[in-house]
Copies of this chain bind each other. A is one copy, B any other.
């Protein structure tokens, strides 16, 4: 029976993308995305809970990620859960879950009013952030705007 396997995330990148160029023109990008949830506990104290997600993007999306995504940026992502299985060095069966990204939208990064100064290597250097022509587009799977 056909099913549904859908993930929707909105959070911030913990690091710049890690991109690998494979043989046959394949490209894969891995991202770490943090989603933070805030609530009050029984004592009324504000508690924050952060979940880290491993995202995987391929080909056209991976290239866009490589070019535009930077540590700290806020991202909206749609994808699906995918598990990888392998054996570790001790021969144990291991399983890991990744989010295979199907589309994403860049929402910008640190809010306006924050000081961009001193952020060498930041996503909004050298000048003013992602180029509008990309920042305004939702990036679909296998979309190749180049």
Contacts and interface: CB of A to CB of B under 8 A. Distances in A.
Interface of A: 1-12, 34-39, 46, 51-53, 74, 76, 80-83, 88, 90, 92, 95-97, 105-109, 111-113, 116, 124, 128-129, 132-133, 135-138
Contacts of A3: 9-12, 34-37, 105, 138
Contacts of A34: 3
Q: Is the interface of A mostly helix, strand, loop or mixed?
A: strand
Contacts of A83: 51-52
A83 to B, nearest CB: 6
A72 to B, nearest CB: 10
B12 A4 contact: no
